[in-house]
Amino acid sequence: MKKSGKAIKVDKSDLEQKTRVLLENMSSDIKQIAEAQTATANKVAKIETAVTRLPSLESTVNTISMAVMQISSDVKDLKNKVNENLSNHEKRISKLEEKVLV
């Protein structure tokens, strides 16, 4: 290599040392990238597991929803029967009061 007509002296051992330092830095960086990739792969695996469970969970939620609707219907029926019985009791009490007071 010439610069301004003069040859630049390149120390071969200095160049080798700089190359080794760069390779060591690259090795460290590659290790960090590999660790990050492993962590990312683990997170993706967990997400995949969760996603595969979604249809099962959806089915369970649907079953629970139908059970809640049935319970709601049963509660309405019970409420109507209680109200009907209360009404009948009021009529009975009124008749008893009429008989007792007369």
What tens digit of pLDDT does each residue of 8-36 get? 666 778 888 999 999 999 998 999 999 99
| Residue 88 CA: distances (Å) to CA of 25, 84, 99 | 91, 6, 17
How confident is residue 94, by pLDDT bands cut at 50, 70 and 90?
confident
How confident is residue 75, by pLDDT bands cut at 50, 70 and 90?
very high
d(CA 31, CA 37): 10
- In this prediction the pTM is 0.45
| Residue 38 CA: distances (Å) to CA of 32, 34, 47, 49 | 10, 6, 14, 17
Report the pLDDT value the prediction gives residue 101, as an integer from 0 to 100: 77
